[in-house]
């Protein structure tokens, strides 16, 4: 293997966070010994792309892009990465009607601005960027206690995605306009459900957070992109 060092920062929320544990104890067995996608990358990438890889996990559960701006310099820029993978959106789009909040925590316009903030500063240090959409959402009893009105549809399996799709589409648009590679986890999970005749719930036991299989699924999407980019 070549002795080239390559540093990757995985920047995101609970679907990135290596310390994630479900708040609902009923789901805890599904996440015991969780191996998040950054760990899968660290394990699989070196032999595939012939580079020595350092992967830094900068995921914080519950973060929106607004929250993440406050730690961006320390958790991303100060590491001097060669590549930053960015995945946010689920918390930004959340309409917490159980808390009498009727608007998203972060508007789709502010979400776009925050993503562009990250992009502009990462480009200044000449690091590569991959935008990664949030994955799909599915109902569980806990979610139904929190999200029970528009824009969410309790009668549809993927009814929680009615608002999230706006944020997914905004990330897709930014990726296209800014000419940034996009790993579309949202679409890949839908394809897994619809085309492969395999239920995506096996990857997302609580309806949101990937288990080990779910994280390996995400890591493989990233690895396939990186192989196409690096292996000549």
pLDDT category at 145 given cuts 50, 70, 90 is: confident
CATH class of the domain at 5-230? alpha beta
Compare 3 and 32 and report the one with higher pLDDT.
32
* Two structure tokens written together for 156: 């549809």
Q: How far apart are CA 132 and CA 171, in angstroms?
A: 8
When pLDDT is averaged across residues 43-58 and rounded to a whole number, the result is: 86
Residue 1: predicted pLDDT:
44
> Would the CA dihedral through 122, 181, 170, 107 be positive or negative?
negative
> What does the CA dihedral 64, 224, 31, 141 come to, rounded to 10 degrees?
60
Residue 76: predicted pLDDT:
98
Residue 198: predicted pLDDT:
64
pLDDT at 45 over 90: no
Contact (Cβ atoms closer than 8 angstroms) between residue 230 and residue 49 = yes
Q: How far apart are CA 134 and CA 87, in angstroms?
A: 6
Per-chain mean pLDDT for the chain:
91
* Two structure tokens written together for 186: 């949202």
Compare 19 and 146 and report the one with higher pLDDT.
19
Residue 232: predicted pLDDT:
41
pLDDT category at 197 given cuts 50, 70, 90 is: low
Strand order across the beta sheet in which 83-87 lies = 52-59, 5-12, 83-87, 128-132, 182-183
User: Which residue ranges make up each domain of the chain?
Assistant: 5-230
């Amino acid at each position: 293997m070549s002795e080239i060092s390559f540093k990757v920062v995985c920047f995101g929320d609970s679907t990135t966070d290596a310390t994630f544990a479900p708040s609902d104890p009923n789901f805890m067995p599904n996440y015991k010994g969780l191996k998040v996608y950054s760990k899968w990358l660290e394990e699989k990438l070196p032999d595939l792309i012939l580079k020595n890889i350092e992967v830094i996990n900068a995921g914080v559960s519950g973060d929106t892009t607004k929250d993440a701006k406050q730690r961006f310099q320390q958790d991303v820029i100060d590491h001097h990465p060669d590549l930053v993978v960015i995945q946010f959106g689920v918390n930004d789009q959340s309409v917490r009607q159980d808390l009498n909040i009727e608007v998203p925590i972060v508007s789709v316009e502010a979400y776009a601005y925050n993503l562009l903030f990250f992009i502009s500063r990462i480009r200044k240090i000449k690091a590569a960027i991959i935008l990664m959409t949030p994955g799909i959402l599915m109902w569980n009893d806990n979610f139904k206690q929190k999200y029970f009105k528009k824009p969410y549809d309790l009668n549809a399996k993927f009814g929680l995605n009615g608002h999230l799709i706006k944020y997914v589409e905004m990330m897709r648009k930014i990726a296209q306009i800014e000419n940034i590679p996009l790993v579309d986890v949202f679409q890949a999970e839908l394809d897994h459900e619809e085309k492969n005749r395999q239920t995506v719930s096996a990857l997302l036991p609580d309806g949101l957070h990937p288990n080990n299989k779910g994280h390996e699924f995400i890591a493989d999407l990233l690895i396939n992109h990186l192989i196409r980019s690096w292996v000549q």
